[in-house]
């Protein structure tokens, strides 16, 4: 067998230049190609579902090919974003967004600008220099004023261009699996910052509007939902499940999404971001970490000796990390337990998932998934290696699949 390689074409990095798929970067987003390969053999009457939809990659690939697809996601910002990314836009929406961008003249952004609202982010000056922040705040204010004049859809296109601009001109460096700040000397100092930021917003707007013209013929519905409770999901009778749940690797989605969430009003204090991370499967940021210390298992995994053995091994080094892993698999257990309520007999399920390693203990997520899936009516489970995730040869991404039988 050949050795797995990192295969960039299967990751979010490949999505950046791919029309709507490149609208917003989320590190754990999977590559469009993964979904395309899984949808290839679908038939016209398939109804697709993604219970951990993130930026809506599955929904967009499905709808572009004419399939109906339901997406479920816990994070309200991602629910909004996936909806905006997967809908069909009218030429009126697109014109209205372009009109707004055309109307921005960089001469009007000469400093000092009148003081405008800025998001209540901790240490905001680490994110943006004062000049950049003032320009962003002014664009944001004008965008808000435009809301009453134009369709919500047009404003969504502008919001996405705004998200691209605010991250492009921030000091955050995404060279890490989460993020860090550029050192001061690395921050570019540009003479004509106002013009550069405005031009960049206009460019984003133009590109996004071009992408928005692309047809999406399938119907996508996006639900704000906790996928540990699939029995309470809005839809039923799905025939093809394609998803990538959180990995047990202590990655925080909120951490990376914070700047967008603060600007667009989905967050207004640090405590709430910790609360959201605690509700997300695999979240461990802020308050979530201290809550983990007091967390006690519900006992769902009593039939899963292998998982419990792994938890025990990790516990010898760190009881807190052992709780993290234990909770992660209990949460995923709850998800699998609800699947029979929403799948049609014969449905195919596909989970893209990574393993992890704590100290010298490998957590074989893929085989733990197979075991939990089999307990809940999914037969003929199998695992394929998709790619190597990093320079560490033991960290891999897998596709775990199976067929649901009533």
Ligand X SMILES: C[S@@+](CC[C@H](N)C(=O)[O-])C[C@H]1O[C@@H](n2cnc3c(N)ncnc32)[C@H](O)[C@@H]1O
| Contacting residues toward ligand X, per CB under 6 A | 26, 28-30, 52, 54-55, 57, 72-75, 78, 226-228, 244-246, 253, 280-281
- Label residue 347 exposed, middle or buried (CB < 10 Å: 0-12, 13-18, 19+): buried
Task: Kindly state the smallest distance separating residue 78's Cβ from ligand X, in Å.
Answer: 5
CA pair distance 87, 78, nearest whole angstrom:
14
Task: Kindly state the smallest distance separating residue 187's Cβ from ligand X, in Å.
Answer: 29
CB nearer to ligand X: give 59 or 119: 59
Task: Kindly state the smallest distance separating residue 251's Cβ from ligand X, in Å.
Answer: 8
CA pair distance 57, 19, nearest whole angstrom:
12
Which candidate, 98, 34, 33, 63, places its Cα nearest to that of 351?
34
CB nearer to ligand X: give 57 or 171: 57
CA pair distance 247, 328, nearest whole angstrom:
9
399 in Cβ contact with 351 (< 8 Å): yes
CB nearer to ligand X: give 26 or 167: 26
Task: Kindly state the smallest distance separating residue 296's Cβ from ligand X, in Å.
Answer: 19
Task: Kindly state the smallest distance separating residue 29's Cβ from ligand X, in Å.
Answer: 3
CB nearer to ligand X: give 54 or 259: 54
Give the residue closest to ligand X by C-beta. Answer: 54
CB nearer to ligand X: give 158 or 281: 281
Instruction: Return the structure tokens found at 305.
Output: 């000796």
What Cα–Cα distance (Å) separates residue 86 from each residue in 57, 219, 288, 381? 9, 9, 32, 31
CB nearer to ligand X: give 37 or 187: 37
Task: Kindly state the smallest distance separating residue 370's Cβ from ligand X, in Å.
Answer: 19
Q: Which pairing describes strands 68-73 and 47-50: parallel, antiparallel, or unpaired?
A: parallel
212 in Cβ contact with 64 (< 8 Å): no
């Amino acid at each position: 067998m050949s050795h797995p390689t990192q295969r960039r074409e299967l990751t979010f990095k490949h999505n950046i230049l791919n029309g709507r798929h490149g609208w917003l970067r989320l590190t754990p987003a999977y590559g469009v190609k993964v979904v395309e390969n899984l949808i290839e053999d679908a038939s016209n009457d398939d109804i697709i579902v993604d219970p951990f939809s993130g930026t809506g990659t599955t929904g967009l690939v499905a709808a572009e090919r004419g399939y109906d697809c339901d997406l479920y996601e816990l994070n309200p910002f991602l629910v909004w974003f996936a909806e905006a990314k997967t809908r069909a836009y009218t030429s009126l929406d697109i014109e209205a967004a372009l009109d707004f961008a055309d109307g921005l003249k960089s001469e009007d952004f000469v400093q000092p600008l009148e003081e405008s609202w800025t998001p209540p982010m901790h240490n905001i000056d680490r994110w943006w220099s004062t000049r950049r922040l003032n320009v962003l705040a002014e664009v944001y204010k004008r965008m808000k004023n435009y809301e009453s004049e134009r369709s919500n859809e047009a404003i969504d296109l502008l919001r996405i261009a705004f998200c691209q601009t605010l991250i492009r001109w921030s000091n955050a460096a995404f060279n890490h699996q989460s993020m860090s700040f550029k050192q001061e000397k690395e921050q570019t100092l540009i003479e004509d910052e106002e013009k550069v930021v405005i031009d960049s917003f206009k460019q984003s707007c133009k590109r996004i509007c071009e992408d928005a013209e692309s047809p999406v013929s399938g119907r996508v519905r996006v639900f704000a939902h906790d996928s540990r409770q699939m029995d309470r999901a809005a839809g039923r009778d799905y025939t093809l499940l394609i998803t990538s749940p959180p990995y047990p690797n202590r990655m925080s989605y909120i951490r990376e999404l914070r700047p967008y969430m603060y600007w667009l009003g989905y967050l207004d204090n640090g405590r709430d971001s910790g609360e959201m991370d605690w509700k997300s499967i695999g979240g461990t940021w802020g308050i979530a970490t201290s809550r983990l210390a007091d967390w006690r298992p519900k006992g769902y995994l009593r039939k899963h000796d292998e998982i419990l053995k792994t938890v025990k091994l990790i516990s010898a080094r760190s009881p807190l990390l052992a709780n993290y892993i234990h909770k992660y698999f209990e949460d995923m257990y709850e998800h699998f337990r609800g699947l029979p309520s929403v799948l049609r007999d014969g449905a195919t399920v596909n989970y893209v998932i990574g393993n992890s390693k704590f100290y010298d203990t490998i957590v074989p997520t893929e085989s733990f998934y197979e075991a939990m899936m089999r307990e809940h009516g999914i037969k003929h489970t199998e695992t394929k290696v998709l790619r190597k995730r990093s320079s560490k040869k033991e960290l891999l991404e897998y596709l775990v699949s199976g067929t649901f039988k009533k």
